[in-house]
Structure 1
Amino acid sequence: MAKEQLTIKHYLKTLEETVCQQWNQKALCDYGGDSFTYADVARSIEVFRVFLNEAGITKRSKMAICARNCARWAMTFWDINVNECVAVPLLADFHPNSISTFTHHSDSVLLFTDKEIWEKLNPGQMPNLRAAIDVKDRQMLWHRDEKVAEAWENREKAFAQKHPTGFSKEQVSYPSDNMDKLAIINYTSGTTGNPKGVMLTYGAISDTDAFSNSHFPNHPGETIVSMLPMAHMYGLAIEFIHPNVDGVTVYFLGKTPSPSTLLRAMQEVKPYMVVTVPLVMEKVYANSIKPALDKMKWLTAIPQARKAIYKIVRKKVLSAFGGQVRGFIMGGAALKPEVEDCFTKIRLPYTVGYGMTEACPLLGWEWCTEFVPGSCGKPVHDLRINSDDPRNVPGEIQVRGNNITIGYYKNPEANAAAFTDDGWFRTGDLGLLDENNNIFIRGRIKSMILNSSGQNIYPEELEAVLSGCPYVNESLVVERKGRLVALVYPEIPDDLDMNRRSEIPEIIRTTANKSLPVYSKINEVEFVDEPFEKTPKMSIKRYLYR
């Protein structure tokens, strides 16, 4: 279905305007630590420009960033991005071999990292690398190019010589004639066998920012807490770039915070929006909302009291997150039906979107007031279902638009497989579109199970049913010799009778099968001892389990 394209303004022009208007206002802050104004950001960008000139590093040069979220990480991104070099964000949790491989594969000439990560890397595996620099203290960690090292050491002196009377907002000017130029290479997986560096242009980022502004606008002076890794486009685009270019102060938590630290930060920062993954909100539900509702269960049976109770619970949740939240935005996985049902009942302003790195990252979105539970919003741009009956028979979701990747860096085989002959990007996801154009994900093509009778079985649908069963914390459905086996990480009360514990797998299986068609009933439930290993987006790494 074709959609009307938004008028796209370059996000760097928006940043330029914001820098000039919010010159002395906070732009980037480490929670409980350093803070930087928009003037600081502008000065850093200009110092970096001087350094590049002195070092002889040209536009379009690639530069990797591999460190945990912090204000200096964000400033480094702006240094690279505004000066029209290509940023290569890498997860700090990647294996050292993966970091070296991707740094080399991307042709990065600089690596911004930290001492702990750098000590585990081998410069010999990165022959194109000219220097490594500490993200936080900006000290040179290593170099093989004396000119680069000297330029970095003398960058402040060179900056002062270029701007003897100081640097002011009147001198700020950022490029906007580069929409088709490469801005980011983002590696989607830690697997090094066939590196897939997603290439995203300035135009793709501008498109995402334009869509975000039209659907969930923000305002100068507002605040947001950054929890998601900026090495992923979800965190980079939605938690950092979109808010920051519009004058929102971004607070970084750094390492994964404890629940108490997170809530304390929310109370102090008072964010206008919470961008997260379903797992976080499911924990909020399990630890706070459900216990509160259970205590008043008898009252919720009374229609007159129910509405008042739901309002009280909603107010407590919003207050716990600082009291200024206009919306909870989730993505990366489906929200458990039980949790979604509760959020809908208490009218919590939430939405679950659909995206992937290759879409920078938005594919599906709907604001809280219009969001249909169970869906992942409406198409951001052109989207089609490769099915003769897209309302009833799942097919591959295929997309196109200004936000879509131009391909994978130096990977012609992956590029050939990623696009259809008529130019649509293959998402690899199976889904449906209802009569109102809402998207419903049914699973991944790669994880679909074809049973002996020719029926398509989507493990994600079975897992959604299992998530509503007693004693199930999380689950994963696999096929073993034609049988459907549910791997379950259980949630069993400590005081449960031992005899009863042995019956739990069968209780789960029987409960789930009551809601499943004959051809997809679960044959066996098998407990696992530890939570499933997950990606940074908190989706289960299916390929590890069989």
Structure 2
Amino acid sequence: MRIDNMQNFYDILKGISEYSKASAFSWNEKDTLKKVSFEHFFDDVKTVMTMMKGIRDNVENVILLSQKNYLWFVYFFGIVCAGKNVILLCNYDKAVEYNNLFQADLVIYDEKKGKQAKDIQKECPNMQACTMLETEFLTRKPADFVAGGRIIIYTSGTSCEKKPVILSQENFVYSVSKTLEEFSYWEKSRFVSFLPCDHVFDLVVSMYALLIGSEQHILKRLNAWNECNDYKPDVVAMVPLMINELVSANVQNGTLSFFKEIKVIVTGGAALDNTIHNMLVDSGYKILQGYGCTECPIIAINCSESGLPANGGKRLRGSAIKVVDGQIYVKSQAVCMDYWGTLQVKKEEGWLNTQDLGYYDEKSENVYIMGRAKNCIVLSNGYNVCPEQIEQRLEACKYIKVAVIYQKKIKNKDFLYADIYPTCPLLGGQERAEIEMWVQKINDTLPIYMKIQGYILKYDTCELNNMGKKTLVMRYRKNGK
């Protein structure tokens, strides 16, 4: 398939039509494995395009409120290819501030999200709402592609509010096509993603899978390990935290034993711990790690054959990277258009500040990420600490699910402490001793100013489960401990 002349989502759909009768998607429904071909998928998308054109002309911005399922993929491509802007939401939480959300004109929702859709309408009574329809019952009519449809994705909200990022079809097509040019890393395969569908990295890997003709199996829920094991995928995509949990639960005598059919693990959204990365590679898995952000889906890529550490990656071909005052800047066709509404993405002559700390080797074209600038802890002695570097090493312990490093002032001196959320509700003496040994082992490798002076085991995981690590970290950084 030629990818060099692709410019939009409709070009992707036309390109994958060459796979015709091959299976594009599969899922379990009432103990039956259902499959849909690439040809059928393209027809369903065109049906939704026709439906969207029948909606009033003043409908421009459409909220797609749904967990990942087959119809989500159909509506996502159909809305955008009909020239509308799609706002992606897996869930709507009334307690969260979604900047500019209520400027949307229509919410299309999965039937399981009916209550959340009503909550949105309460905030904006003039907003229309409708459920996702089974496309088999719609009349199939030819539909023409309408340019201009955009994708709006909210950031994770670690800076107090969720910012709506406007991404063009060209942003995604560039990211995926350049990745394919650089790394044809897996062939037609059985692919499973554990990432949520409103995550920019999930969209990139899903489009990658479509373009190479892989079958994507859609899980009933994102942590459905047994279902994934029964499907026996060749390739999986998951965030590093999930990989840490999986490795911790399946390591025996230093050897991993899970999903033996898997050949490639795709990860992104955060840095993978180097110890975990090396353990996976030594166990025979290939690792493809993407570095990017919501404002720029792919900045650099690290494949396990490169020999780079887990926090490194080769810049995407055609893009440019520089480091100013320790922060990484990128200039690329993958950089977003702007934020939706009154907020503006700060660009200096086309350069986007990722707000990540790191350094760039111009000779090798490799970039190395140290942590987030806003998470950087500035100690009273003048030293700067990237807490992620310590947290990732702590979380490589099989008994530690999440670790949060924070600053504590004692007698006018700054010290680093940790809150540790164990993997088990209650730990025995041996497990606590292993955590103590693990912390000491890490401390032995750290300079004095970075050493962990103490830690607290937190068994009540309600706070963590409700807030998520990113929100928890934001609160620690903003308010202190």
The answer, yes or no, to whether TM exceeds 0.5 is yes
Letter in 2 for 1:397: I
SS at match of 2:312: coil
1:298 is matched with which residue?
Answer: none
Shift of 1:355: 1.3
Q: Residue in 1 aligned with 2:16?
A: 18
Tell me the SS of whatever aligns to 1:436: coil
Match of 2:54 in 1: 54
- The alignment status of 1:293 with 2:254, answered yes or no, reads yes
Q: Is the 8 A contact 1:63 1:87 kept in 2?
A: yes
State the distance in 1 between where 2:291 and 2:468 align: 12
1:284 aligns with 2:250: no
8 A Cα contact 2:274 2:310, kept in partner: yes
Change (3 A) 1:287 1:53: closer
Partner of 1:356: 293
Aligned residue identity for 2:15: E
Shift in Å, 1:478 = 0.3
Aligned pair partner of 1:489 in 409, 421, 428: 421
Structure 1 equivalent of residue 130 of structure 2: 133
Aligned residue in 2 for 1:543: 474
Deviation at 1:174, TM superposition (A): 4.3
**Counterparts of 2:284 and 2:260, CA distance in 1:** 16
Give the 3 Å change call, closer, same or farther, for CA 53–472 of structure 1 in structure 2: closer
Q: Aligned in 2, Cα 1:492/1:337: closer, same or farther, shift over 3 Å? A: farther
CA 1:217 to 1:40, structure 2 compared with 1: closer, same or farther past 3 Å? same
Aligned residue in 2 for 1:212: 179
For residues 388-414 of structure 1, what are the alpha-carbon distances to aligned partners after superposition, in whole Å with 9 as ceiling and x for unaligned? Answer: xxxxxxx111111100011101133x4
Determine if contact 1:224/1:248 at 8 Å carries over to the other structure.
Answer: yes
- In structure 2, how many angstroms separate the alpha carbons of the residues matched to 1:459 and 1:529? 22
Shift of the alpha carbon at 1:365? 0.2
1:322 to 258, 261, 271: 261
Decide whether the 8 Å contact of 1:188 with 1:196 is kept in 2: yes
1:450-493 residue CA offsets vs partner (Å, 9 max, x unmatched): 11121111111222343456854431110122221111123579
1:13, 1:174 within 8 Å by CA — same for their partners in 2?
A: no
Q: Is 1:110 equivalent to 2:37 in the alignment?
A: no
2:331 maps to 1:400 = yes
Q: Judging changes above 3 Å, is the alpha-carbon distance between structure 1 residues 536 and 37 closer, same or farther for their aligned structure 2 residues?
A: farther
* CA pair 96-36 structure 1, distance change in 2 beyond 3 A: farther
Counterpart contact for 2:347–2:353, Cα < 8 Å: yes
So what's the TM-score if we normalise by structure 2?
Answer: 0.84
Instruction: Report how many residues are paired.
Output: 461
Q: Deviations for 1:414-453, whole angstroms, at most 9, x for unmatched residues?
A: 43xx323x33111111012246332221111111111112
- CA deviation after TM superposition for structure 1 residue 220, in Å: 8.6
Q: Which residue of 2 aligns with 1:202?
A: 169
1:61–1:231 CA distance, 2 compared to 1 (3 A): same
- What does 1:15-94 correspond to in 2, within 5 Å? 15-19=13-17, 21-32=18-29, 33-57=33-57, 61-92=60-91, 94=92
Q: Displacement, 1:77?
A: 0.8
Closer, same or farther: CA 540–124 of 1 in aligned 2, 3 Å: closer
**CA distance 1:350–1:52, shift in 2 (3 Å):** closer
Q: Distance in 2 between matches of 1:536 and 1:215?
A: 37
Task: Tell me whether 1:335 sits opposite 2:272 in the alignment.
Answer: yes
Name 1:144's counterpart in structure 2.
Answer: none
- 1:47-66, CA deviations, whole angstroms, 9 ceiling, x for partnerless residues? 333333433336x8211111
- Between structures 1 and 2, the one with greater strand share: 2
The alpha-carbon deviation at position 99 of structure 1 amounts to 8.8
In structure 1, distance between residues paired with 2:335 and 2:447 = 37
TM-score normalised to structure 1 length: 0.75
Question: C-alpha distance in 2, partners of 1:224/1:214?
Answer: 20
How far the C-alpha of 1:542 sits from its partner, in A, is 0.6
From 287, 290, 308, the counterpart of 1:372: 308
Compared with structure 1, are the counterparts of its residues 49 and 172 closer, same or farther at alpha carbon in structure 2 (3 Å cutoff)?
Answer: closer
Letter in 2 for 1:55: I
After TM superposition, the structure 1 = structure 2 runs for residues 143-182 of structure 1, keeping only pairs within 5 Å, are 156=138, 159=139, 174=145, 178=147, 181-182=148-149
Q: Does the Cα contact within 8 Å between 2:25 and 2:37 map onto a contact in 1?
A: yes
Task: Choose which of 182, 192, 202 in structure 2 pairs with 1:235.
Answer: 202
For 1:281 and 1:69, the matched residues in 2 are separated by 20
**2:407 aligned residue (470, 479, 502):** 479
> Per residue, is there more helix in 1 or in 2?
1
Match of 1:275? 237
Larger Rg: 1
Which sits farther off after the overlay, 422-431 or 39-48?
A: 39-48
Q: Is the 8 A contact 2:377 2:407 kept in 1?
A: yes
Structure 1 pair 259–540 and aligned structure 2 pair: CA distance change class (3 A): farther
The alpha-carbon distance between structure 1 residues 426 and 493, as it changes in their structure 2 partners (threshold 3 A), is closer
Offset, 1:74? 0.6
| CA distance in 2 between partners of 1:83 and 1:384 (Å) | 37
> What is the aligned partner in structure 2 of residue 307 from structure 1?
none
Secondary structure of residue in 2 paired with 1:454: coil
**1:261 matched to which residue of 2?**
227
